[in-house]
Structure 1
Amino acid sequence: MLKIKVSQTLPNPLQINIECAPGQLHALVGPSGSGKTSVLRTIAGLSNASLGKIECDNQIWFEANDLQGTATSLSPAERSCGFLFQQYALFPHLTALENICIPLQNSGHELAMRQTIATDWLNHMGIAELAQRMPHQLSGGQQQRVALARALVKKPNALLLDEPFSAIDAPTRQSLYKILAELRKDLNIPILLVTHDLREADLLADHITVIDQGIGLQTAAPQVLFQKPRNSRVAELVGINNMFEGVFKAGKLSWNNSSHVFEVLDKGKIPPDTPVAWVVPADGLTLHHSQVAGSIQAMVQQISTLGQIAVVQLLTNDGGHKITWEASAAELKRLELEVGKNTHVEIDGNKIHIMPLRPINDPRRFTS
């Protein structure tokens, strides 16, 4: 188990509380400069937090508090973690095999044994025939496999991945996803992945932590995160399209600038007459040819098609709210949707998720 609970003060604030079990992959997402890579560097010992604790496999790597200061801080070499950098960081004057051998230099093994171990990892990555090639003779995907083998050759207790797939093409990325999935089963160690790609995080991760300005805003399974963001800032950062504002009171949700009121389950967590943000997932939206009970009239503003998928932008006649709806091309045809034409949108109140409305400069958005 990898446990990280650290706090760093200005000028580079960092407040993170994460646990990642062996065999799990935990993704860190957030805008550029949000502190995602800083979390990995802090875990690896390349930088230190002011306060907190980092523990892996029952070994304390870092611990500091207000009373005693820094009690424990293992060097990067003493922390059993593999680190895969975004730019691979291969030594340009060494072959693929020699690059993988580097972490084994102080292992106590003879050269022949080090080379055997490195060759096994080349085989594991499916690139044994590239052992004697220099980095400049390798493609981006091949370099990434060499770098991943180097990160794992000492059998670390945790693996840290800093946007490892961002610089490679889609087919190569898919093959590396497969390798990563196999490694999760074989190695059974915690894996932390920094990525800017939400689809990638959704595909690979067991849990996702959203980071903004160095603060962990929410940690959840992908499905929970995308359907029930903790607050409006999280919803914004994970790219939820249909986010609106209103006022909630006793199970009734009004919609700003609209006469429409939704019946929503009151869980007793939000005080009456509280301004809120609210989102509705794709399966909470239904379009109809004609008016049905509770539906809202809207005009089709734009239709974008990609193969058999269509994205429709709607503008409600009451309130001028923009709604994004995704459907198959067949559904588009069935509803006879055209730009400039009116349709009727039904929003399922049971699918609406209400959350605190926090402006970006309100520090309370980090905890509410």
Structure 2
Amino acid sequence: MLKVKLSQVSPNPLQLNIECIPGELHALVGPSGSGKTTALRTIAGLSNAQTGKIECDGNIWFEASDIGGITTALSPAQRSCGFLFQQYALFPHLSALENVCIPLYNSVPSLEERKALAQQWLDRMGIGELAKRMPNQLSGGQQQRVALARALARSPKILLLDEPFSAIDAPTRQSLYKTLAQLRKDLNIPILLVTHDLREADLLADRITVIDQGVGLQTAPPKILFERPRNSRVAELVGINNKFEGVFTAGKLRWNGCQRVFDVVDKGKIPPNTPVAWVIPADGLSLSATQSATSIEVMVEQISAIGQIAVIQLRTIEGNHMVTWEASAAEVKRLSLEANKMCHLEIDGGKIHIMPLRPINDPRLFSN
């Protein structure tokens, strides 16, 4: 297991507390400059935090405190990390096979054994026949596979991936997703993936940590993260469309600008008459042509068709709120939806998730 608890104020702020078990893929997501790559470099030993602890497989790789300073700081070579950089970092004057041999020099004395192991990893990546090619003779996806073979050649205890799929085309990316999925089963080591692509994180990760300005704001499985973000900043960073504000008192949520009041389940931690942010998942919304006692009158602002799915922008008559609703083409046809048409929106209060309005960087990293 990998355990990371880091704290740093300057020059690059970093407050991170994560765990990753063998076989798990844990994604770090956040805007550019949020500290994702800094976190990986610190785990790998390419830089050190001011205070904190990094432990892998029961061994302490790094430890420091305000009082004692740095007491343990293993070198990158001692940490047994496989690190796949965004730009692959292949040596241009070495063949694919020779690149994969590099991390084996200290552990495998025999040249022939190094070559044999390197060839096995290239075979495993599906590019064994390209062993003699130079990096400039390989496609982006092939270079990626060589770099991944090199990262894994010395059987590391963790694998760190820094936006490894950002520079390759979609078909190649899908193929590498499958390769990574198979490796997860075979290797059974913690894997940390840095990505700016939320869809990629949702597809690949068991858990996701959202980082903003160096601070880990929330760690959760993808479904929980997208449906129950910890605060409004997390909701913004993960791209939740239907995020609103209101006032919450004892199980009742009043939508700002509206008379509408929803019955909402809460853990009892929010004081009465507290301003909150709230979100509603797609399955908590429905649309009807007829009015009901609980419906909200809305007008269709815009319909954008994406294949068989339509994204409909609705504007509430009371409060002037924009609500995004997705439906099949058949549903759009059934409701005869078109721009400027009036219809009635139902919101399931039981699926509303309320959150405190906290600052961007919430120091209470993982409080419930």
Q: Distance in 1 between matches of 2:156 and 2:335?
A: 55
**Cα deviation 1:303-338 (Å, max 9, x = unaligned):** 111110110011000000000011111111111100
C-alpha displacement of 1:107: 1.5
Distance 2:366 2:272 in 1: 20
Question: What is aligned with 2:50?
Answer: 50
Q: Is the 8 A contact 1:161 1:192 kept in 2?
A: yes
Q: What is the rounded CA distance, in whole Å, between the counterparts of 2:136 and 2:12 in structure 1?
A: 36
Residue 66 (structure 1) shift: 2.0
- Counterparts of 2:210 and 2:204 in 1: how far apart (Å)? 15
Structure 1 residue runs of 4 or more that deviate by more than 3 Å after TM superposition: 362-368
Q: For residues 338 and 84 of structure 1, what CA distance do their matches in structure 2 show?
A: 49
Question: Which segment drifts farther, 99-108 or 340-349?
Answer: 99-108
Partner of 2:353: 353
Q: What SS does the corresponding residue of 1:172 show, helix, strand or coil?
A: helix
Deviation at 1:266, TM superposition (A): 3.4
| Corresponding residue of 1:256 | 256
Instruction: Tell me if 1:180 matches 2:180.
Output: yes
CA gap of 1:104–1:78, structure 2 versus 1, over 3 A, is same
Shift of 1:65: 1.1
Partner of 2:204: 204
Q: How does 1:241-320 map to 2 (within 5 A)?
A: 241-320=241-320
**Equivalents in 1 of 2:343, 2:94: separation in Å?**
64
Aligned to 1:123: 123
Look up the match of 2:102. Answer: 102
Shift, 1:11, TM fit: 2.6
Q: Partner residue of 1:321?
A: 321
Normalised by the length of structure 2, the TM-score is 0.98
**Matching of residue 20 in structure 1 with residue 20 in structure 2:** yes
Aligned length: 367
Cα deviation, residue 138, structure 1: 0.6
Give the alignment of 1:24-35 within 5 angstroms.
24-35=24-35
Q: What does residue range 30-179 of structure 1 map to in structure 2 within 5 Å?
A: 30-179=30-179
Corresponding residue for residue 341 of structure 2: 341
Structure 2 CA distance, aligned partners of 1:101 and 1:71?
Answer: 33
Structure 2: give runs of 5+ residues left out of the alignment.
Answer: none
Counterpart contact for 1:29–1:209, Cα < 8 Å: yes
Deviations 1:240-275 (A, max 9, x none): 000000000011100111111111123211000000
Residue 350 of structure 1 aligns to which amino acid in structure 2? Answer: G
Distance change >3 Å, CA 61–CA 366, structure 1 → 2: closer
Q: TM-score, normalised by structure 1?
A: 0.98
SS at match of 2:196: coil
SS of the equivalent of 2:292 reads coil
RMSD, aligned α-carbons: 1.1
